[in-house]
Chain A
Amino acid sequence: LAKTTQPISMDSYEGQEVNITCSHNNIATNDYITWYQQFPSQGPRFIIQGYKTKVTNEVASLFIPADRKSSTLSLPRVSLSDTAVYYCLVGDGGGATNKLIFGTGTLLAVQP
């Protein structure tokens, strides 16, 4: 099973860009990289998913280097409401399943 390593916590201020890096040294060839956001007592919410290079949507960008052993979630101009836990996940490398392996996540605290 692929595993991920993220910083336990990060601090930022409103209006700043935040970059959260995730290591996944054992990522399999057919694995995608997915990021979720979770607020207290709520289910995780999908943010972005990618396979290689760069992916951008309306809320975030995902940068994946050529070796795919790491990835960086970029949140532009964060606000207080972005305070949450962010999880980096990779596929379990085993066929058509929807089994997500969550790590400990990164607690992002945005201050005014």
Chain B
Amino acid sequence: KAGVTQTPRYLIKTRGQQVTLSCSPISGHRSVSWYQQTPGQGLQFLFEYFSETQRNKGNFPGRFSGRQFSNSRSEMNVSTLELGDSALYLCASSLAGYSAEQYFGPGTRLTVT
């Protein structure tokens, strides 16, 4: 079956703009989590959605938001972009449940200039 897909793969934005990233989970997976990866901070958890509800949230400012649709596809939005938001944004899907095996997408490389 198809893996997790993320669009776009690469993105260049200017400070102050906003951006929306998209993630399509593996068919049948209801949980989608988002992570930010930077050289300095490593992989950090942003939030998780399950059946259209945010189930858990990491320590990121309110500029980072997300949502999940009824088909489990998820979007992540970052408003008022800052230079420090340049990162690889990864989404992962899983069936459900506690510490279940997660399948990661290839990521979206966001560069803020």
Measured CB to CB, the residues of A under 8 A from B are 30-32, 34, 41-46, 49, 87, 91, 95-105
Residues from chain B with Cβ under 8 Å of A96 in the complex: 55, 96-98
B44 within 8 A of A: yes
Q: Which chain B residues in 10-33 approach chain A with CB under 8 Å?
A: 31, 33
Known: A42-B107, A98-B31. A87 touches B99 (CB 8 A): no
Interface residues of B (CB under 8 A from A): 4, 31, 33, 35, 42-45, 48, 50, 55-56, 58, 88, 90, 92, 94, 96-107, 109
Q: Which of B50, B100, B101, B106 contacts A42 (CB 8 A)?
A: B106
Minimal beta-carbon separation of A58 from chain B (angstroms): 15
Q: SS class of chain A's interface: helix, strand, loop or mixed?
A: loop
> Closest approach, in angstroms, between the C-beta of B74 and any C-beta of chain A?
12
Contact in complex: B45, A31 (CB < 8 Å): no
Task: Please tell me if the beta carbons of B99 and A32 are within 8 angstroms of each other in the complex.
Answer: yes
If A30-B98, A31-B99, A41-B88 touch, does A105 touch B104 (CB 8 Å cutoff)? no
Whether A100 contacts B45 by the Cβ 8 Å rule is yes
Q: With A87-B43, A97-B48 given, name 6 new contacts (CB 8 A).
A: A43-B4, A46-B102, A46-B103, A97-B56, A98-B55, A98-B100
**Complex Cα spacing A86 to B109, Å:** 21
Question: What are 7 pairs between A and B in contact, CB < 8 Å?
Answer: A34-B101, A43-B105, A43-B106, A98-B94, A99-B56, A100-B43, A104-B42
Distance of A89 from chain B, by nearest CB (Å): 8
Once A30-B98, A43-B90 are accepted as A-B contacts, the answer to whether A101 and B104 lie under 8 Å apart by CB is no
Are B45 and A99 touching (Cβ within 8 A)?
Answer: yes
